[in-house]
Chain A
Amino acid sequence: MDLFEDAPGPGEGEGGNAHEFTVSEISGAVKRTLESEFGWVKVRGEVGRVSRPRTGHIYFDLKDDRSCLAAVTWKGQAARLRHLPEEGMEVVATGRMTTFGPQSKYQLVVEDIRPAGAGALMAMLEERRKKLATEGLFDAARKRPLPFLPEVIGVVTSPTGAVIRDILHRLRDRFPRKVLVWPVAVQGRGSAEQVAAAIEGFNRLSRGGALPRPDVLIVARGGGSLEDLWGFNEEIVVRAAAGSAIPLISAVGHETDTTLIDHAADYRAPTPTAAAERAVPVRLDLMAATESFGARLAHAAGQGVAQRRQRLTDLGRALPRPETLLAGPQQRLDNLGDRLPGALRAATHRKAMELARLPLSPATLSARVRHDRRVVGELEGRGRAALTRQVERARERLARRTDALRPETMAVRLARLSERLDGLGARLRPALVTTEIARERARLESLDRLRETLGYEATLARGFAVVRAGDAVVTRAAEAERAPALELQFRDGRVTVGRGPAPRRKGGEPDEGQGTLL
């Protein structure tokens, strides 16, 4: 039975004696078989798609050219991984195989993961370097000069071990300084974050703060494997180093090791000791240099005075005597004094010659004078004749006037005037006036007679009377009726008449005047 069961023939039908599993049973059986058979395996392959959900687990694929294997690293283990899976990375993963029953899947539970050989890791490093280089983090223009003599040195490294001892030792030898050590883990997970935080922490210190801000930083680690130094290749460290305002010296690993922080640092020292050497100058050298400068200073200053003194002496020697200064001019004066009389004579002679050459001779002068004299003579003759004529004319006019002015003519004229005066005197008689007066008187008398005939008194003589009421002359019957008394003026006097009964009236206008008269 057992034999048959163990080896069922391929031709057996479904209804044979084969054990019938439930799905879970077979799933569990497969799981057990798989886990016992592959409880600890190393798998080499390329990392495919990586997924890291919030749970903290890491799911990824391992693949080669034909197959694919699901892999998982649980949260707790993921924190301990030295290298996290990155897509495209060639790795050797160590772990155990297991299944995932609910989905009929199997997977590798990864305990550790390493890049498959140094070549692969270097390739990855190169990729990262290129990426950061294109961002300019490694540009030479970003590099800051290191201070010549820093007062405070900040060191980012492990507080224990050979590295810090080497640095301090070398500093002490060269130039003892203030050193601040920022302790960090220099390998393993979390070291990169600590190193970056330390660089940034130093940069945040203020110059006058409780903790003095370093003038230069040294980031150091001793030698190790590529994996050991891996933290200094992490982007976070590279960015912190590139962003450091304080000049930074990197000294990671041995001389042959190059990490990415070396590219970002302002100066890359091959070893921690070399970093200390670069950080400070040798005090004794500086003292010697200062001494030397002091000596040169004193010498140069002394030399300056000595040279000037020498020059003064030389110049003083070269200075000529006053007599020699005067000799030349004196000789010149003598020479010129000798030549002076001769020169004067020569000059006079020359002037005479020049004068002779001029077109000015006594003959021309006298010709000119003769000519002028003739002109003057002519003018004189003409002037004299004209003057004589004028005098004669004036004399003639005078003679004519003198003829007219004789006593006889004056006497005739006087007689004529006297005659006229006599005539006028004869007409001037009193009768002329009295006749005029008599005529004017006659005219006056006739006018007065005319006045008397025209006056009302003359009328009175002819039988008319003037009627008055009071002082007013009454000319209308109505007025006479109203008046209480009337005064009548006749030729020889006035009579007042009282008013009796109203007189008879026959009508007619002349009645009024008639009435008054009656």
Chain B
Amino acid sequence: MSEQAAAKPVDQMSFEEAIRELERVVGQLERGEVALDESIALYERGAALRARCEKKLQEAEEKVARITTDARGEPTGTAPLDG
């Protein structure tokens, strides 16, 4: 999971992937297990992940629609949901 997430570009991550990776990065830094050079790279990655998370959180927009169907029950499009 973390390896997969590490391979994926940050700007393509879902919120969940980004925040899990952020948690992992923070944990790694806090344990102080990494070399100094690496810790700088990790910090930068963590900052990018945090930005990604915040962006996904700001994309909170409500949009409600009702699916319209034809006589056979196949979806044809959307209409506003009344009431």
Contacts and interface: CB of A to CB of B under 8 A. Distances in A.
Q: Answer yes or no: are A and B bound together in one complex.
A: yes
Interface of A: 147-149, 159-160, 164-165, 168, 171-172, 175-183, 194, 197, 201, 205, 210-211, 283, 286-287, 289-290, 293-294, 296-298, 300-301, 303-305, 307-308
User: Contact size class for B?
Assistant: 35 or more
B74 to A, nearest CB: 7
Interface string B67-83: 10100011101100111
B11 to A, nearest CB: 16
B77 A210 contact: yes
Contacts of A308: 36
A471 B9 CA distance: 142
Contacts of A286: 15, 19, 53, 57
B54 A159 contact: no
Contacts of B46: 293-294, 297, 301
A236 to B, nearest CB: 13
B8 interface: no
B62 A290 contact: no
Contacts of B5: none
Contact of B75 (A201, A290, A294): A201
A49 B5 CA distance: 61
Given A297-B29, A304-B36, A168 B73 contact: no
A286 B22 CA distance: 13
Given A159-B82, A178-B65, 6 more contacts: A159-B81, A179-B62, A201-B73, A297-B29, A304-B32, A304-B39
Contact of A178 (B53, B63, B77): B63
A173 to B, nearest CB: 11
9 contacts: A147-B14, A283-B60, A290-B19, A290-B22, A293-B19, A293-B22, A293-B50, A297-B22, A304-B34
Contacts of A148: 14-16
B47 to A, nearest CB: 7
Contacts of B43: 297-298, 301
Contacts of B83: 159-160, 165
Contacts of A287: 54, 57
Contacts of A165: 83
Given A148-B16, A297-B26, A179 B75 contact: no
Contacts of B67: 180-183, 201, 211
A71 to B, nearest CB: 33
A205 B69 CA distance: 13
Q: Please name the 8 residue pairs, one residue from A and one from B, whose CB atoms are nearest each other, closest first.
A: A176-B62, A300-B29, A148-B16, A301-B43, A297-B46, A290-B53, A300-B30, A178-B63
Given A149-B15, A293-B26, A181 B32 contact: no
B62 A297 contact: no
Contacts of B73: 194, 197, 201
Contacts of A194: 73
Given A179-B63, A201-B75, A211-B77, A296 B30 contact: yes
B64 interface: yes
